[in-house]
Amino acid sequence: MFFITLFVGTRLLRALLVVLGLSLRDKRVSDREKSSPFECGFTPQSIPRLPFSLRFFLVAVVFLIFDVELVLIFPMVVRHRLFFCKEAGAVLIVFILVLLLGLGYELNQGRLRWAQ
């Protein structure tokens, strides 16, 4: 009985929050002048939304991958510093090997060359 009451209560709370959010949302009339970029009253000199550089994006993704890799490996190394077992070592080696193989593949394909 408790779970049914909890289920119904969460559904009612969710519906209430959705209705509240829809009723309080910002209702602005879209205006071309207000949505254009403002440069001291002058017309913009360049396109405000330039396409994003794919090369920069790929380098940023590789950086994030290796940054997350450090976040995942560091606790394992700290925890198993005194009690380093074969399974933890094998997991670390496989994890680093997969990352290095991916990096080698990207380098081989020429995806990380900044200027061509």
Whether the predicted pLDDT of 105 surpasses 70? yes
List, for residues 8-29, the tens digit of each pLDDT value.
999 999 999 999 988 888 766 6
Query: Which residue is listed with tokens 């090369």?
Result: 55
First-last CA distance in the chain: 67
Residue 102 within any structural domain of the chain = yes
Domains contained in the chain, number:
1
Residue 92 within any structural domain of the chain = yes
3-state helix/strand/coil string of the chain: CHHHHHHHHHHHHHHHHHHHHHHHCCCCCCCHHHHCCCECCECCCCCCCCCCCHHHHHHHHHHHHHHHHHHHHHHHHHHCCCCCCHHHHHHHHHHHHHHHHHHHHHHHHCCCCCCC
Residue 95 within any structural domain of the chain = yes
Residue 12 within any structural domain of the chain = no
Residue 15 within any structural domain of the chain = no
- pTM for the full predicted model: 0.47
Residue 99 within any structural domain of the chain = yes
Residue 7 within any structural domain of the chain = no
Residue 34 within any structural domain of the chain = no
Whether residue 44 contacts residue 37, with contact meaning beta carbons closer than 8 Å, is answered with yes
Residue 94 belongs to what domain range? Answer: 54-109
Q: Which residue has the higher pLDDT, 112 or 115?
A: 112
